A and B are shown apart, each in its own frame.
Chain A
Amino acid sequence: MKRKKHWYDYLWMVSAIYIVLGFLNILFAWVGIICFIVPLLISIISGTKAYCNRYCGRGQLFDLLGRRFKLSRNKDIPHWLRSKWFRYGFLAFFMIMFLNMLFSTWLVFSGARDLKEVVTLLWVFKLPWHWANTTAVSPWIAQFAFGFYSVMLTSTFLGLVTMILYKPRSWCVYCPMGTMTQGICILKYKGESNK
């Protein structure tokens, strides 16, 4: 029995296009905020993980590359990677790095620091991004774009590595957004569930 395809089964294209657009013009990074706000809103309002389950383009992209294109070893993920402490620890780490990025944006906004045209991969490796033409906008808008794109590129990179090493959607196990939305659902239904 073949599952009927819906419009949202093609959202992997959006994720792929997003990464490419960032290479062309860093300011497209701003669009990525959708991937942060929508899952949170869905979980807060409707109390589900419909974003992960249906709409997440990144999950679909990993599924496509790993399963359809067989780029995954399909091995079990190590226990520590799926443990609660790692998932919530990674979420905390991600949040700290995110706040740090917002702080950099604030420094540029207030004029305390100049715009740094670099995309940082894995929080340490600085990739020079000189071709970005950001003269049309205020420096802080560009700074946020660089920081946000760093977050997206880093998580895509980590997701690709674990996709190859373990199962296609291994990223979903420790995805900070997934952990957060599940956490919101747990809080929302506290006391109701008996599992």
Chain B
Amino acid sequence: MRVSKKMAVVSKECVACGSCVKVCPLGAISIFKGLYAIVDADKCIGCGKCAKECPASVISIVNREGQNEEKKALV
């Protein structure tokens, strides 16, 4: 399976509202025990819909290699 170059990453300030879960076209995000959202790295294609929807703006789209570069990888 081809792996996308980018993927979504959720920061610690997630409020677990579930807005991202509803917009994800691949069902790649879920809310982990009511604590925060988690991204299934295998399913995520980095489309950015969740990042756009997130009311707290705590999801960023990053390059898979070097996930720590964070914001400069934002599309």
Q: What is A's interface to B at a CB cutoff of 8 Å?
A: 1, 3, 43, 47-50, 52-54, 59, 63, 67, 74, 76-77, 82-84, 87, 166-173, 175, 178-179, 181-182, 184-186, 188-189, 193, 195
Contacts and interface: CB of A to CB of B under 8 A. Distances in A.
Contacts of B26: 1
B35 A193 contact: yes
B67 to A, nearest CB: 15
A48 B33 contact: yes
A178 to B, nearest CB: 6
B31 interface: yes
Given A52-B17, A172-B17, A178-B17, A47 B34 contact: yes
Contacts of B56: 77, 82, 173
Interface in B33-57: 33-36, 52-57
Contact of B19 (A74, A83, A169, A179): A169
Given A43-B34, A49-B34, A185-B35, A87 B57 contact: no
Chain B contact surface mostly:
loop
Interface residues of B, number: 24
B13 interface: yes
B72 interface: no
Interface string B1-20: 00000000000110111110
Given A167-B53, A182-B35, A49 B12 contact: no
A63 B58 CA distance: 18
